[in-house]
Amino acid sequence: MNVYSVFVFAVLAISSVSGIINLGGGKKCGGNGGYGNGGYGSGIVIGSSRNIIYISKRHEKRVEEDSHSKYIYSNLAVSKHLGNNIFELASLLGISRVLHRIPVIFVYNQTYNEMLNRVNNSIPGLLDQYLFLNESIPRDVKSLDFNIKCCIFENPNKLLSINDRFLHLTGLYYQSFKYFSGMQNELKSYLRKIPEQSFRLPSSSSKNHISCIHIRRGDFFKVGFHVADERFIRKTIKLIRRKETHPGQQITFVLFGDDLPFLKHLQKTADKDQKTNYFVSKNSVTEDLVYAMNNCDSVFISGEF
Ligand SMILES: *[C@@H]1O[C@H](CO)[C@@H](O)[C@H](O)[C@H]1NC(C)=O
Ligand SMILES: *[C@@H]1O[C@H](CO)[C@@H](O)[C@H](O)[C@H]1NC(C)=O
Ligand SMILES: *[C@@H]1O[C@H](CO)[C@@H](O)[C@H](O)[C@H]1NC(C)=O
């Protein structure tokens, strides 16, 4: 099963969510020492149609008619997981709106194409908001350190006074939902539309409280991050049961994650009673996002970013 940064899962699910519990650490995000700086090359040719590889309908006019348009782009954690990619692009879109700049992605190597395909499979509408250029990041554009500390919102308003036509930010990840606050419905509408009948998971209703438990383990073992163990998850499930559900409701826990044997073990050995059901999702990442958006009444995620 695919691994992805689960925070996106919670953010997209958030409308129906009464409680999100996230246990995460902090780390440095980007900066000039980070990756994403490679690939400097040819000069500025934004707007020259030769280099535009994909323009959504939204942008076609603006690029043709307005040579005064201003642009914004950032280093991107292109080689990371889908969740990181979506988060970054959603945040940068939010920042671009504040600054009235056209958000640009420089597609200058294969990793970028892989990232675009990955994101396009899950949330195509988000990419439609971007202008893509088949170019390296222009060499002669000054870059600016922004959002260098992980997960701490930095107000983009402070960039409003910059008048340069191109604004290159050196941050990465942009993991604060505040960058796209107020855009939740818009972002949700960008998700790929997939019918839910085939997901084989229960639907939320006033009679059925669904708690979505996302557990990321696989790659965290390798990099030495804290990994949620069985005891911890069981305590969490108890806590959610006590705090989030109402008497008389059917209580359903749906388990998601990258460690299927672990999830199945949890399901098999859970304390069951007539009112409590457990399901394990075997769906794709995109299907999980779509399901979570429509059905999770409570969300728990155990991943660091
Ligand atoms: C493409 O560029 C990104 C950012 O500089 C880098 O992380 C990635 O490894 C590069 N991919 C290839 C195939 O060179
Ligand atoms: C996204 O996928 C669709 C097909 O589903 C394709 O038409 C479109 O060009 C793709 N967009 C990008 C940016 O790759
Ligand atoms: C991008 O540019 C490269 C080199 O300039 C060219 O070989 C390639 O065909 C271009 N790709 C697209 C999709 O236009």
Which pLDDT value is given to residue 271? 83
CA 257 / ligand 2 centre spacing (Å): 27
204 found inside a domain: yes
Of 174, 201, 216, the residue that ends a domain is: 174
The mean pLDDT value for 141-149 works out to: 90
- Answer yes or no: is 35 within a domain: no
Residue 18: predicted pLDDT: 38
Query: DSSP string covering the chain, please?
Result: -----THHHHHHHGGG-S-EEE-----B--STTSSS-----S---TT-GGGEEEE-HHHHHHHHH-TT--EEEE---TTS-HHHHHHHHHHHHHHHHHHT-EEEEE--SHHHHHHHHHHHHH-HHHHTTSEEESSPPPTTSPEE--S-BTT----GGGGTT---SEEEE-------GGGGTT-HHHHHHHSPP--GGGG--PPPBTTEEEEEEEE--HHHHHHT-----HHHHHHHHHHHHHHH--TT-EEEEEEEES-HHHHHHHHHHS---TTEEEEE--S-HHHHHHHHHHH-SEEEE----
Query: Using a 6 Å cutoff on CB, does residue 143 contact ligand 3?
Result: no
| 54 close to ligand 2 (CB < 6 Angstrom) | yes
| CA 53 to ligand 3 centroid distance, Å | 8
Q: What distance in angstroms lies between residue 182's CA and the mean position of ligand 2's atoms? A: 26
Nearest Cα neighbor of 173 from 98, 107, 72, 75 is 75
Atom of ligand 3 nearest to the CA of 134: 1
For the chain, the domain total comes to: 2
Residue 181 has pLDDT above 60, yes or no: yes
225/283 same-domain check: yes
Which residue, of 174, 206, 231, is where some domain finishes?
A: 174
pLDDT digits (tens, 9 = 90+) for 46-75: 334 444 555 555 555 445 445 678 889 999
Is the shortest distance between the CB of 134 and ligand 2 below 6 Å?
no
Tell whether the model's pLDDT for residue 110 goes beyond 60: yes
Mutate-to-test residue for ligand 1 from 109, 117, 134, 139, highest number of ligand atoms within 8 A of CB: 109
Cβ partners under 8 Å of residue 33, min gap 6: none
Q: Which of 92, 88, 83, 79 is nearest to 38 (CA)?
A: 79
Per the structure, the complete domain to which residue 224 belongs is given by 7-25+193-301
Phi/psi for 202 (5° steps) reads -75, 160
Residue 295 and residue 230 share a domain? yes
Q: Whose CA is nearest to atom 4 of ligand 1?
A: 36
Ligand showing the shortest atom-to-Cα distance for residue 37: 1
User: What is the arithmetic mean of pLDDT over 75-100?
Assistant: 94
**Both tokens of residue 35?**
């990756």
Is residue 201 one of the residues assigned to a domain? yes
Binding site membership of 21 for ligand 3 (Cβ less than 6 Å): no
Question: Is residue 1 a part of any domain in this protein?
Answer: no
Minimum CA distance residue for ligand 3 atom 4: 134
The answer to whether residues 205 and 295 belong to one domain is yes
pLDDT in tens, 219-276: 667 777 777 889 999 999 999 999 988 888 999 999 998 889 999 999 999 987 888 9
55 and 157 fall within a common domain: yes
- pLDDT for position 205: 94
CA distance 156 to 197: 41
Pocket mutation for ligand 3, best pick of 105, 134, 135 (most atoms within 8 Å of C-beta): 134
